[in-house]
Amino acid sequence: MSKIYQVILKMIENTDKISNAVEGDSDEVFFLYNAKYCWSVLRQSGSGKYAIYYYPENSPGELTNVIDWEDVKLVAYTEKEIPEEDAQRKLHQLYKILRDKVASEADVILDEILADD
């Protein structure tokens, strides 16, 4: 079992350690894991396949504003690096968790605004 596959499973098991989930351009969600590791999951248009990226030097908010990706350090994990048979299904599951986190964080903000007197 590859290390990145094990990390994906760990993220799915510990969704409470996922924070700062924000949507980027297209079908990508950036997030922090364990309040310090910046990642994203991308659903590739056309193929519908998923990839996961690690960003050692950035925050999710910074990455949503990137124009020139050539200067961004990242480690990409695609289906080539994640050979497990159900890896795409697990990445889809993580992507759905992240999309739900984005929606729930927005919902918290709406509740705070409504509660403000």
Sheet containing 75-77: order of strands: 18-23, 28-33, 37-43, 50-55, 75-77
d(CA 58, CA 64): 10
Q: What's the rounded Cα separation, in Å, for the pair 77 and 96?
A: 18
Q: Per-residue pLDDT tens for 3-37?
A: 999 999 999 999 999 999 999 887 999 999 999 99
**With bands split at pLDDT 50, 70 and 90, how would you rate the model's confidence at 117?**
low
Give the pLDDT confidence of 33-89 residue by residue, as tens digits: 999 999 999 999 888 899 999 999 999 999 998 888 899 999 999 999 999 999 999
| Of 103, 105, 99, nearest in space to 28 by CA | 99
In this prediction, residue 35 carries a pLDDT of: 95
Whole-number pLDDT of residue 76: 97
The domain locations on the chain are 3-115
The predicted-structure confidence for 73-83, as pLDDT tens digits, reads as follows 999 999 999 99
Mean pLDDT of the 82-101 span: 95
37-43 and 50-55 beta bridge pairing: antiparallel
